Amino acid sequence: MIAFDLNPRLEGDSHPVIDLELCAVRLMKDANYPWLLLIPRRKDLIEIIDLDPTERAKLMEEIGTVSEALKTATNCEKLNVAAIGNVVSQLHVHVVARFREDPAWPAPVWGAVPPVPYEGSKANDLISALQEALSE
């Protein structure tokens, strides 16, 4: 594995969940939406096309695996998946669990409302459920 540096903003805005074969999986520190990031652990990636074809296929597989785990853990109504990177250019993919009653529904989550911290052990409980689902 080639060493990579996690962007400080991604690190500060999220909690570690698990490392998959290609990606680090992290939970955003925003209780408004159960929101995961997949960050390929490779140096100097900006776009999905910066991955070689085998790694692109692995990324898609891991997006599917993480999406299934998030849907199971949250029983969400919809999943939003995006690789935007306009603010943080380091390649990362957002997987956001959406509910009709969430504060941004049906619009995108970005900038809709200020982030709300998880209360008590709720972040750790969700991380544990995701780790269990992703370790199987």
Q: What is the per-residue pLDDT across 67-81, written as a single tens digit (0 to 9) for each?
A: 999 999 999 999 999
User: What are the structural domains of the chain?
Assistant: 8-135 (3.30.428.10)
**pTM for the structure as a whole:** 0.95
Q: What local confidence, expressed as pLDDT, does residue 46 receive?
A: 96
Q: What is the per-residue pLDDT across 3-28, written as a single tens digit (0 to 9) for each?
A: 789 999 999 999 999 999 999 999 99
Task: Give the whole-angstrom CA distance, residue 95 versus residue 6.
Answer: 18
- Cβ burial of 25 (10 Å; 0-12, 13-18, 19+) is buried
- Specify the higher pLDDT residue, 96 or 2: 96
Q: Is the peptide bond before 117 cis (omega within 30 degrees of 0)?
A: no
